[in-house]
Amino acid sequence: MRGIIVFLSLLVSTFLIDQAIKTWAVDTAYQLHQVTSTSVSSPSEDVLNGTLLKKGKCINLELYFNKGVAFSMFAFLGTWMKWIQGGLVLILIFIIFKEKYYLHYAIPAGLLVGGALGNVYDRFIHQGVVDYIAWHCGFKYAVFNYADIAIDVAFVLILVMVYFSPKKSKIK
């Protein structure tokens, strides 16, 4: 029971934190462009894409609506992307429950699904994933968000847990 509570708590909190930050980023971009978010049903990426929210030494906060996945790959899929990713997330959730991965991998599974749902939700609401963390030390191509970080941390945790978990003996 504890595993499912941890899994669901992390899933919900990751999703909510991700969406709160993205709402701040979009609203701030609207304010910088002197547009109220209530006057337009969805943000115009022509106006808001690339809006500098805060400048830093190695990291800027810049708003982008990513139509693809990592580094805008598969952007050519257009509106199909949200349905493909939504289906993959549903399959992931099914596997987590069917195989009871939430028992041993509650923390990474919650982070993974919460982050994935945050990005899929963006595709339905904003027609692209809201990215805002722009790394510009050495190269200027990485723009990501809180959900992406949660997904990356989840994968690292899964790798560490699998690699360092006690091996079950094959001899009975």
Task: Point out the residues that are catalytic.
Answer: 131, 148
Radius of gyration (C-alpha) of the chain in whole angstroms: 18
User: What are the angstrom distances between the C-alpha of 165 and each of 3, 47, 106, 168, 169?
Assistant: 17, 49, 15, 9, 12
Strand partners, 135: 59
Pairwise CA distance, residues 170 & 114, whole Å: 35
